[in-house]
């Protein structure tokens, strides 16, 4: 299944909540995986580039896995590791 996020085709049914659509402008799909799709986007207010990970399905197991991944990544600080903003 292909859905669209402001004109960027996203495979697997990944979607972004309307409030986040106002915050980010998608540029292109970076990749897809088992849990979802990663999209390169520009944060509208600050102008910085960010990678958004969009879940393929809104399943509790995917939500828990993504939260765990974000918590682990947020604890790391290294020039070769991207920071987690939210």
Q: Which two tokens stand for residue 41?
A: 């986007």
Specify the pLDDT at position 15: 57
Residue 2, pLDDT score: 43
Sign of CA dihedral 34, 58, 12, 84: negative
Contacts for 26 with CB less than 8 Å, ≥ 6 apart: 5, 6, 7, 8, 39, 40, 41, 52
The number of residues in the chain equals 86
pTM of the model: 0.75
Which bin fits 2, alpha (ψ -120 to 50), beta or left (φ > 0)?
Answer: beta
The pLDDT value recorded for residue 55 is 84
Asked if 39 and 23 touch (Cβ cutoff 8 Å), the reply is no
pLDDT 10s digits, 27-80: 899 998 888 889 999 999 999 999 988 888 778 898 899 899 999 999 999 998
Residue 1 has pLDDT above 50, yes or no: no
Beta pairing partners, 9? 4
């Amino acid at each position: 299944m292909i859905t669209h996020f402001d004109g960027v085709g996203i495979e697997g049914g990944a979607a972004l909540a309307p409030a986040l659509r106002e915050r980010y402008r998608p540029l292109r799909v970076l990749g897809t995986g088992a849990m979802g799709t990663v999209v390169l986007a520009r944060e509208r207010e600050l102008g910085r580039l960010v990678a958004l990970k969009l879940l393929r399905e809104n399943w509790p197991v995917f939500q828990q896995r993504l939260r765990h991944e974000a918590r682990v990544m947020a604890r790391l600080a290294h020039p070769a590791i991207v920071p987690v903003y939210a």
